[in-house]
Structure 1
Amino acid sequence: MNDQPNLRQFIDEVSSFDEEAKPAPSAKVAPALETLGEVIEIAGSGSRIRMNAAKLMGLQAHADPSVAMSGQVGSQVKMTVGKAWLIANVRTLASCGDGEVVAQVDFLGEGDCDSAGHVSRFRRGVTRYPVPGAPVYPVTTDDLRSVFAADDNAHVEIGTVYPTDDIRGALYVDPMLSKHFAILGSTGTGKSTSVALILHRISQLSPEGHILMIDPHGEYSAAFKNCGEIFNVDNLQLPYWLMNFEEHCEVLLTTHGHERQRDADILAKCILAARIKGKDMSQYGKVTVDSPIPYLLTDLSGIITNEMGKLDRAGDTLPFQRLKTKLDELKADPRYTFMFSGMLVSDSMPTFISRLFRLPANGRPISIVDVSGVPSEITSVVVSVLARMVFDYAIWSRTEAQRPLLLVCEEAHRYVPKSETAEGGQAVRKILERIAKEGRKYGVSLGLITQRPSDLAEGVLSQCGTIISMRLNNDRDQACVRAAMPEGARGFLDAIPALRNRECIVCGEGVSIPIRVRFDDLEPEKRPASSDPSFAAMWRETGGEEGIIQRTIKRWRGHGR
């Protein structure tokens, strides 16, 4: 009789031990969510799972949109590992007969299991893997809210996470900018509006920031007229003497091969002489042909003439004649006034840098440089000078209070083309490649925007830590993006051809895990002037054609390009 209480106590202790030994997450799974299937194979970055086709079909009518999508390509599922939930993205689905399907999944990260069986405190990366036979469950909107929730680090919200209506998609500003980013998308996918949205949100977060955007089509002036400074050929006033020697060669040399090298040697000697003429060299120290020291175009022309006069044979004067003729053409052509005006000889470098880099920003942190009015022959040189000014300023201001700079380059494939044999534009290619490789060391961020990522130079896209990809219709472009992304994002990237307008896949450093986002609508006054014309509607309009033609021809002749 005395042993009876002891036996009862022993049974209670064993029962309590059994309760503790049960897998916590499995015991807490919401009863409304059945298992979809089980894990059948494990690999380092992903695994294969087997799911019941009837259950997948039945989920599609579920009231929770996340549950309704769970198990489909591009969606997420979850599985238990000890006391944690492991989240995986579905990459492929294939039927294996008997009413079952096999899916390849990529692991995204893991989170704790809360009292309701939902994911909480989600973390990127995987520390433990499930074993074959582990049950697989659909994810809920509450799960995804925890997975995609932005933490306290600086971030901007750009839209809603697919397939939900209320979970916000966020970009972490510091990781995205410190390791560069690329925004990709075919024409007509809403790329320009999406770029404007992201830059507006960054500007709102950091109204004292420093952003320089190269706009080759004049699209973004309308979008940033109220929160930025707009520069074009009418007010840019880019001094010619800011060009380095390589950029001078691209503008002034017209020959190729052996003759070009001879002309370049002469030009180098003459430019260096022009830079130091009449200067107190004690205030400059060592001066090279690349030093951004003001000089007069008339001095350069005079030095060329003097050097030519020292020659005995008439045939030897041809290189000098070519340089002088080209210089005279630039000075006389009104299209080049914004750069080769005699009024730009004063040392305006401090003012130019202050205006262009928004130092200080005064609540208008972005400069839009519209190069659509720049003659096509020197557009790449202008972009090269602007990009190099950003990089050089960052290098030479290292000992000062740091002011990180963001350089955004629209139509990037024009300036960093894939083929190194592409004629012209070698200076701009070199500086943008250098910024991509070294910019983060000096506080320079690069944002590349392009509709043809396959035409970008090899390696440049892979230097971008964050890739925001909208729909890409070309197979080569899709393959290029896929190759630049980590293994775990492949399932998301497979959805790129199926994205709707103003939807994107975001992968990389700027997000905790890859996400599919529907961009927010942007206010009309903040949108770029890039909308496609309605042919059907505009072809119904008539009247006033004579005035339209007259005004167009006047502008055409006045700014001949």
Structure 2
Amino acid sequence: MDQSFMPVTPSPVDDHNVFMQPEKVASLPSTCVIGRVREIAGGSAICSLDPAQLKAIAGHEDATVAMSGQVGSQVKMRVGELWLLGNVRDMRMDDASGVILSCIDFLGEGPEDPATGSMKAFRRGVTRYPVPGDDVFTVSRADLVLVFAAEDRPHIEIGTVYPTEDVRGALLIDAMLGKHFALLGSTGTGKSTSAALILHRIIEKAPKGHIMMLDPHGEYAAAFSSNGMIFNVDNLNLPYWLMNFEEHCEVFITTDGSERERDMDVLAKCLLAARSKSRIAESLGKMTVDSPVPYLLSDLLGAIQAQMGKLDKASDLGPYMRLKSKIEELKSDPRYAFMFNGLLVSDSMAPFLSKIFRLPAEGKPISIVDLSGVPSDIVTVVVAVLARMVFDYAIWARREPQRPILLVCEEAHRYVPSDRETKGVAVRKVLERIAKEGRKYGVSLGLITQRPSDLAEGVLSQCGTIIAMRLNNERDQMYVRNAMPEGARGFLDSIPALRNRECIICGEGVSIPIRVRLDDLAPQLRPASDDPLFSQLWTEEGDEAGILTRTIHRWRGQGRG
């Protein structure tokens, strides 16, 4: 055995104690024996750990060594000339033998450096297995530095790997974005700030990127005012004619059952007639009701009126009158002016996509779409249109130089709910399709939610990288547990115990599952999501009349001025 490892000496007093006695430990090296392998399975092993030895290493100057053997920590086993790295899933005392039994999930392996006895490279997966009776060793800081090294691959550093003080936790950009990611965490855990941190780091690494974030609460405008474009109901100017037929139905049709079917038939005929009047339609060889061709709302109303004139019985007027009434309501209501505006009838598709997708980025590669001012009855349709624009653009631009787009969806459980009876079918369909097919077309999806259990089944499993912050709800923990890979199970029990700004990351974006203390973010780069300090704010007073006057003015005008 290499001189850097502590020998294992059986005790002459107790046959069960086959481990080194703590009183013999004068100066512990960074790699020493703490247990033995008992059972081996395809992806894990049952090992017995010596409580005395774990207590002895607890004071080691290397925090990584000191943590070895604890739940969520890493240990290693020698297999020939390889080191096999594993993660401690659980621990339980075996009263009969006085040892601790632990399940170790295999993570990967690397060749041993003969000069130092540590690993000199690391790769995921296992090709060779230990056998019962083999030693279990501590893992050192040097081992983790090598495991987490990402210098040769594009990456962003977001924090410090627990329990070390200086080993940096990195996310591999191509692997994380190429297979989607999810950021999960209960309210108040620092989820929004963590999302801003990750996006800022991506922007620093890729200043010519193309990111669109859907922000339902208006939190992120403050975080990206210097390096992003902010859109809200005052400047979004989303043309209504970009909606496809399904989205038109969700906005214009309010009936259910058989009446809805009749209304849809009428709308399909009239919408196609209105689109056909556009000069653009004349240059198209084929046009469908879904084609994003500009049309006048007055032309749509005219088509409805013309169809009404062809009816034989007044009893058939119902679908036409309902559609006409709804369209006129949307035209006249100032709350919908950002979308249903007569000024949006021109062919503004190219400039709209350019500004919303940041093509070109012009130093601001992220667009924040503040949805807080969008009326609640059409917010899901707005999200559906924007998300579908991302996906449709990627499909129809396949013959062009590729411009991958990252779509980040905050409060994702609102738009892809587990309840299939919920309204908003169009947005659910497009986000599910992006989750399943988006990466083939260069569309990356980032989901942020505080209630992963409320997400549609299968959507979270499409996310190759999961960033889990503290989750207090047991259903949410179970949902995340099912989505995480087997090797990360040892971390899962610590999810309820994570501190604020701590997270567990597993999947494609990291070499192995890690627990990370996230970096602090400068105040001007943080979202406006801080909780109010009641104890402080309730000691302040002044200008209440002015506050009420200005608030009521914005309230009545449905604006932000």
C-alpha deviation, 1:316, in angstroms: 0.8
C-alpha deviation, 1:37, in angstroms: 1.2
CA deviation string 1:33-58 (max 9, x = no partner): 43111111111111011011111122
Q: TM-score, normalised by structure 2?
A: 0.94
Q: Which of 66, 69, 89 is the matching residue for 1:68?
A: 66
Query: Do 1:24 and 1:83's aligned partners in 2 also have CA atoms closer than 8 Å?
Result: no
In 2, Cα distance between equivalents of 1:406 and 1:172: 15
In 2, Cα distance between equivalents of 1:62 and 1:84: 25
Name the structure 2 match of 1:124.
124
Q: State yes or no: 1:513 paired with 2:512.
A: yes
Name the structure 1 match of 2:463.
464
Q: State yes or no: 1:314 paired with 2:314.
A: yes
Name the structure 2 match of 1:7.
none
Question: What is the SS of the residue equivalent to 2:377?
Answer: helix
Name the structure 1 match of 2:92.
94
In 1, Cα distance between equivalents of 2:151 and 2:482: 29
Name the structure 2 match of 1:447.
446
For structure 1, which segment, 482-491 or 217-226, has the greater mean C-alpha deviation from structure 2 after superposition?
482-491
In 2, Cα distance between equivalents of 1:31 and 1:536: 50
CA RMSD in angstroms comes to 1.7
Question: What is the SS of the residue equivalent to 1:223?
Answer: coil
Question: What is the SS of the residue equivalent to 1:340?
Answer: coil
Name the structure 2 match of 1:9.
none
Richer in helix (by share): 1
In 1, Cα distance between equivalents of 2:523 and 2:310: 64
CA deviation string 1:341-361 (max 9, x = no partner): 000000000100111111110
Q: State yes or no: 1:193 paired with 2:189.
A: no
Query: Do 1:120 and 1:147's aligned partners in 2 also have CA atoms closer than 8 Å?
Result: no
Name the structure 1 match of 2:546.
547
C-alpha deviation, 1:31, in angstroms: 6.5
C-alpha deviation, 1:125, in angstroms: 1.2
C-alpha deviation, 1:149, in angstroms: 1.5
Name the structure 1 match of 2:145.
145
Question: What is the SS of the residue equivalent to 2:316?
Answer: helix
In 2, Cα distance between equivalents of 1:31 and 1:503: 30
In 1, Cα distance between equivalents of 2:537 and 2:157: 36
In 1, Cα distance between equivalents of 2:124 and 2:380: 41
Name the structure 2 match of 1:4.
none
In 2, Cα distance between equivalents of 1:361 and 1:369: 16
In 1, Cα distance between equivalents of 2:280 and 2:204: 45
In 2, Cα distance between equivalents of 1:558 and 1:195: 32
In 2, Cα distance between equivalents of 1:286 and 1:555: 46
Name the structure 1 match of 2:11.
none
C-alpha deviation, 1:112, in angstroms: 2.3
- In structure 2, what residue type is equivalent to 1:505? I
Distance change (3 Å), C-alpha of 1:200 and 1:560? closer
In 2, Cα distance between equivalents of 1:362 and 1:332: 36
Q: Point out 4+ residue stretches in structure 1 off by more than 4 angstroms.
A: 22-31
Name the structure 1 match of 2:16.
none
In 1, Cα distance between equivalents of 2:2 and 2:433: 52
Name the structure 2 match of 1:502.
501
**Structure 1 unmatched runs, 5+:** 1-21
For structure 1, which segment, 541-550 or 233-242, has the greater mean C-alpha deviation from structure 2 after superposition?
541-550
C-alpha deviation, 1:147, in angstroms: 1.5
Query: Do 1:86 and 1:111's aligned partners in 2 also have CA atoms closer than 8 Å?
Result: yes
In 2, Cα distance between equivalents of 1:432 and 1:117: 49
Name the structure 2 match of 1:534.
533
Q: Which of 83, 86, 90 is the matching residue for 1:85?
A: 83
Query: Do 1:470 and 1:505's aligned partners in 2 also have CA atoms closer than 8 Å?
Result: yes
For structure 1, which segment, 390-399 or 62-71, has the greater mean C-alpha deviation from structure 2 after superposition?
62-71
Question: What is the SS of the residue equivalent to 1:377?
Answer: coil
Query: Do 1:37 and 1:50's aligned partners in 2 also have CA atoms closer than 8 Å?
Result: yes
- In structure 1, what residue type is equivalent to 2:521? L
Name the structure 2 match of 1:16.
none
CA deviation string 1:436-480 (max 9, x = no partner): 111011111111110011000011000011101101111111111
C-alpha deviation, 1:78, in angstroms: 1.2
C-alpha deviation, 1:282, in angstroms: 4.3
In 2, Cα distance between equivalents of 1:171 and 1:148: 10
Name the structure 2 match of 1:493.
492
Q: State yes or no: 1:329 paired with 2:329.
A: yes
Name the structure 2 match of 1:183.
183
- In structure 1, what residue type is equivalent to 2:413? H
Work out the number of aligned pairs and report it.
539
Name the structure 1 match of 2:264.
264
Question: What is the SS of the residue equivalent to 1:85?
Answer: strand
Question: What is the SS of the residue equivalent to 1:417?
Answer: coil
**Structure 2 unmatched runs, 5+:** 9-26
Q: TM-score, normalised by structure 1?
A: 0.94
Question: What is the SS of the residue equivalent to 1:328?
Answer: helix
Q: Spell out the pairing of 1:286-325 with structure 2 (5 A cutoff).
A: 286-325=286-325
Name the structure 1 match of 2:12.
none
Question: What is the SS of the residue equivalent to 1:39?
Answer: strand
C-alpha deviation, 1:279, in angstroms: 2.9
Distance change (3 Å), C-alpha of 1:291 and 1:24? farther
Name the structure 2 match of 1:411.
411
Name the structure 2 match of 1:5.
none
In 2, Cα distance between equivalents of 1:180 and 1:505: 16
Distance change (3 Å), C-alpha of 1:183 and 1:349? same
For structure 1, which segment, 311-320 or 237-246, has the greater mean C-alpha deviation from structure 2 after superposition?
311-320
Question: What is the SS of the residue equivalent to 1:263?
Answer: helix
In 1, Cα distance between equivalents of 2:460 and 2:541: 47
Name the structure 2 match of 1:475.
474
C-alpha deviation, 1:532, in angstroms: 0.6
Name the structure 2 match of 1:58.
56
Question: What is the SS of the residue equivalent to 2:402?
Answer: coil
Q: State yes or no: 1:249 paired with 2:249.
A: yes
- In structure 1, what residue type is equivalent to 2:165? D
- In structure 2, what residue type is equivalent to 1:503? E
- In structure 1, what residue type is equivalent to 2:163? P
C-alpha deviation, 1:377, in angstroms: 0.2
Query: Do 1:23 and 1:83's aligned partners in 2 also have CA atoms closer than 8 Å?
Result: no
In 1, Cα distance between equivalents of 2:280 and 2:160: 61
Name the structure 1 match of 2:106.
107
C-alpha deviation, 1:151, in angstroms: 3.6
- In structure 1, what residue type is equivalent to 2:190? G
For structure 1, which segment, 369-378 or 303-312, has the greater mean C-alpha deviation from structure 2 after superposition?
303-312
Structure number with larger C-alpha Rg: 1
In 1, Cα distance between equivalents of 2:361 and 2:152: 25
Q: State yes or no: 1:366 paired with 2:358.
A: no
In 2, Cα distance between equivalents of 1:467 and 1:325: 46
Question: What is the SS of the residue equivalent to 1:439?
Answer: helix
Distance change (3 Å), C-alpha of 1:157 and 1:461? same
CA deviation string 1:92-132 (max 9, x = no partner): 00001243111111011112222222222122111111111
Q: State yes or no: 1:383 paired with 2:358.
A: no
In 2, Cα distance between equivalents of 1:192 and 1:278: 44
Name the structure 2 match of 1:12.
none
CA deviation string 1:393-440 (max 9, x = no partner): 000000000101110000000000001111x20000000000011101
Q: State yes or no: 1:164 paired with 2:164.
A: yes
In 2, Cα distance between equivalents of 1:560 and 1:157: 39
C-alpha deviation, 1:320, in angstroms: 0.6
- In structure 2, what residue type is equivalent to 1:154? P
C-alpha deviation, 1:23, in angstroms: 7.6
Query: Do 1:25 and 1:113's aligned partners in 2 also have CA atoms closer than 8 Å?
Result: no
Distance change (3 Å), C-alpha of 1:449 and 1:437? same
